[in-house]
Amino acid sequence: MVTHAPPPGPPARGPLTGPPAPAAARESPPPGPAPAAAGLLRFAALGDSLTEGLGDPRPEGGWRGWVPLLAASLPQPGAPVRVANLARSGARTADAAGPQLAAALALRPHLAAVIVGGNDTLRSPFDIGRAARDLDAVLRALTARGTVVLTACLPDPGGSLRLPRSLTGPLARRMHALNDVVHHLSRRYAAVHAHLAHHPLTQDPAAWSVDRLHPSELGHRLLAREFHARLAERGLALGPPPPAAPDHPPPTRSAGAWWLATRGTRWVLARSTDLLPGLLRLAVAEGRHRRAGTQEALDHAAREATRAALRALPAPNGAPAPAPGVPSAATRPRSAVPGARNARPHPRGQTAHGGQAGRYPAGLAGD
């Protein structure tokens, strides 16, 4: 049985440059009584339009998306799960580290999805250091309270939008940098990670909505099933996987052409003020390096910026910071989730969230 927490405040509008949540909100345990229902599983979702559910409309209006599909499959049939989808269209990493994180910590979730950063890559300027600090703050605060975190790396938007090569190169470099940060932080905080950047589902046109930026209903279902499979391997998904078959047919080519002629044009005009000027400068540099045969210099500069961003992050839990690309060990006490089954051990002897298979955080599961 899935219930939904009350929605947070109004969605963010325009450029999002708000500061991260105050340090006190990150370092002290959130107040509030435990729920009365024994065995209640709390699931919070942070992020942008991908997690909000764009591309999978509800018949009554609004968006559904992969979050409620996954939530319904987490507990045993009939067991309670409370979902708070805090994601909002247009959100960036600063929003996840600010109001979304504060709202999530107040809910004391057992499980939290953190998939954000795509909008950062579609804005100018793009600061991989800021994105890394924001994402580190979110995962640090959640895992410090024992929350199991879900993360994902994302496909390159330039390829799906079928942009010219001079534009896809800079966008791909940004997305690769973001994915490198997500991979590193997922290892550092022992998150349950879904590799979506090169997943076969991203190659299926039926898995995309008409805008080519968001999953269709089928895409959201496949995403929910991917996360369910990763959680089931750790004994953290007890129900059957979400059904794969969509309730509605995929968007047609004519629908895609209509979107491009109407809403797509407005999207391009909106990006003409915050993305296009900077992207055009990058495209000129891309063309110059391509003609000179020195594109590797751009790739090298992007890799070095990512390494510098990761080196600048504070060490997790006071331990020496691992070098980028080196997994960090995380062990936290766990308490068995009601009815959890034993699962196949993680290759390192632990689950992806750092504890024993089939367990959620101590002091949270069932309280």
Domain boundaries, the chain: 36-361
| SS3 at position 20 | coil
Name the DSSP letter for residue 124: S
> What pLDDT was estimated at residue 267?
53
> What pLDDT was estimated at residue 277?
63
Euclidean distance between CA atoms 45 and 346, whole angstroms: 24
Q: Which residues contact 270 (CB under 8 A, 6 or more apart)?
A: none
Summarize the confidence of residues 124-131 as an average pLDDT: 92
Interhelix angle 165-188/295-311, rounded to 10 degrees, is 30
Of 69-78, 81-90, 202-211, the poorest mean pLDDT is in 202-211
DSSP one-letter string for 188-222: HTT-EEEE-TT-GGGG-GGGB-TTSSSB-HHHHHH
Euclidean distance between CA atoms 149 and 332, whole angstroms: 14
Torsion of CA 349, 353, 356, 358, to 10 degrees: -120
> What pLDDT was estimated at residue 284?
77
Q: Please tell me which residue, 171 or 181, carries the higher pLDDT value.
A: 181
CB atoms near residue 30 (< 10 Å):
15
Residue type at position 137: A
Q: Are 30 and 68 in contact (CB under 8 A)?
A: no
Encode burial over 12-21: b for 16+ CB neighbours within 10 A, e otherwise.
Answer: beeebeeebb
> What pLDDT was estimated at residue 36?
32
Euclidean distance between CA atoms 221 and 207, whole angstroms: 9
154 token code pair: 């994302």
Q: Please tell me which residue, 97 or 349, carries the higher pLDDT value.
A: 97
CB atoms near residue 1 (< 10 Å):
12
Residue 206: pLDDT above 80? Answer: no
May I ask the CATH architecture of the domain 36-361? Answer: 3-Layer(aba) Sandwich (3.40)
Cα dihedral sign for 297, 154, 356, 107?
A: positive
> What pLDDT was estimated at residue 131?
97
Q: Which residue has the tokens 């559910």?
A: 53
Q: Please tell me which residue, 58 or 131, carries the higher pLDDT value.
A: 131
> What pLDDT was estimated at residue 12?
39
| SS3 at position 238 | coil
pTM: 0.73
Of 43-52, 172-181, 214-223, the poorest mean pLDDT is in 214-223
Rounded to 5°, angle at Cα 183 from 226 and 207: 35
Of 143-157, 196-210, 213-227, 244-258, the poorest mean pLDDT is in 244-258
Residue 261: pLDDT above 70? Answer: no
| Confidence grade of residue 217 (pLDDT, cut at 50, 70, 90) | confident
Q: Please tell me which residue, 33 or 52, carries the higher pLDDT value.
A: 52
> What pLDDT was estimated at residue 168?
77
Of 109-123, 258-272, 318-332, the poorest mean pLDDT is in 318-332
Q: Please tell me which residue, 309 or 288, carries the higher pLDDT value.
A: 309
- Residue 193: strand pairing partners: 151
What would the pLDDT profile of 7-40 be if each residue is shown by its tens digit? 554 433 332 223 333 333 333 333 333 333 447 8
> What pLDDT was estimated at residue 106?
96
Residue 194: pLDDT above 90? Answer: yes
What would the pLDDT profile of 316-335 be if each residue is shown by its tens digit? 765 445 445 433 434 333 43
Name the DSSP letter for residue 325: T
> What pLDDT was estimated at residue 342?
46
Determine what percent of the chain is predicted with pLDDT higher than 70. 63
Size of the chain, expressed as the number of residues it contains:
367
76-85, 163-172, 326-335, range with greatest mean pLDDT: 76-85
Residue 160: pLDDT above 50? Answer: yes
